């Protein structure tokens, strides 16, 4: 095979640099994606997604168990008044209706941002974690790292959203930040052409830097929300403890008779 001329070698090197730059613009390469999945952050993300799927499966199993129990109760109740055949038919009809209702309720929901909009408040953090994992590819490295941090912040916030009243102002703030403002930030960044994402804008920052700064602000706000809701729960525990102390603090709460009562009882021999 003949040796390549210097001009051909330079042309090959130029094309290789162009291809590499194209990979950098589009997002992570397959090798980088594999390394990310093997990293502690990637394993933690995969574990959170697995836990989310397991919670969904457990919810389906619980609903099916309740449906079977309800049908058994219907069958036993009707069996006392109706012939066995009629009771069996009605119980089977109830079972079919309940199974159809469960299937409709647990069927795969909408994808993308529609899943965030349709999610109930306790499920919102799980849906956002899944959405962030799908959005990670293509983000600039600092922003991609922040999505891993955000996933952990959402995991910390999740227990608080379960106890939060969906109609409260706090719930509205949580939903607006997670379901609207965070996706808006990433979607607006994706709307910027690739060639302009590294060009400084009027404020001196590039769109990539603006995205990273915005994710940091959202990360700080989720942390603040979690702390605020946690302190609210702790305050409620403290108030309940003080109430119990005031109500029962000076009273003997033992269930058996006290020695003093035994001594003063004139009927005891």
State pLDDT tens for residues 2-55: 454 555 555 655 555 554 444 444 444 455 555 555 666 566 666 766 776 777
State pLDDT tens for residues 86-103: 878 888 888 888 777 777
Q: How far apart are CA 224 and CA 193, in angstroms?
A: 33
* pLDDT, position 31: 53
The phi, psi pair for 138, rounded to 5°, reads: 100, -15
pLDDT, average across residues 50-62: 75
Q: How far apart are CA 143 and CA 147, in angstroms?
A: 6
- One DSSP character per residue, 50-115 reads HHHHHHHHHHHHHHHHHHHHHHHHHHHHHHTTS-HHHHHHHHHHHHHHHHHHHHHHHS----THHH
- Domain ranges in the chain are 110-248
Q: What's the mean pLDDT when you consider all of the chain?
A: 75
């Amino acid at each position: 095979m003949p040796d390549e001329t210097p001009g051909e070698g330079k042309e090959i090197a130029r094309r290789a640099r162009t291809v590499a730059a194209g990979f950098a613009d589009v997002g992570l390469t397959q090798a980088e994606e594999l390394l990310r999945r093997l990293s502690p952050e990637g394993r933690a993300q995969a574990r959170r997604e697995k836990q989310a799927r397991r919670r969904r499966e457990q919810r389906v199993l619980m609903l099916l168990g309740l449906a079977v129990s309800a049908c058994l109760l219907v069958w036993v109740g009707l069996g006392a008044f109706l012939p066995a055949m009629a009771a069996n038919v009605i119980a089977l009809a109830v079972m079919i209706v309940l199974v159809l209702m469960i299937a409709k309720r647990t069927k795969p929901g909408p994808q993308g941002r529609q899943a965030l909009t349709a999610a109930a408040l306790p499920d919102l953090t799980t849906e956002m974690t899944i959405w962030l994992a799908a959005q990670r590819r293509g983000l600039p490295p600092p922003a991609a790292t922040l999505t891993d941090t955000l996933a952990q912040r959402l995991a910390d916030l999740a227990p608080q959203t379960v106890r939060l009243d969906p109609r409260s102002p706090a719930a509205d703030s949580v939903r607006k930040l997670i379901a609207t403002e965070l996706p808006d930030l990433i979607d607006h960044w994706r709307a910027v052409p690739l060639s302009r994402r590294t060009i400084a804008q009027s404020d001196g920052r590039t769109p990539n830097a603006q995205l990273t700064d915005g994710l940091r602000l959202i990360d700080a706000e989720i942390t603040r929300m979690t702390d605020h809701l946690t302190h609210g729960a702790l305050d409620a525990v403290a108030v309940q403890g003080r109430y119990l102390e005031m109500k029962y603090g000076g009273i003997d709460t033992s269930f058996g008779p006290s020695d003093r009562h035994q001594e003063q009882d004139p009927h005891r021999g």
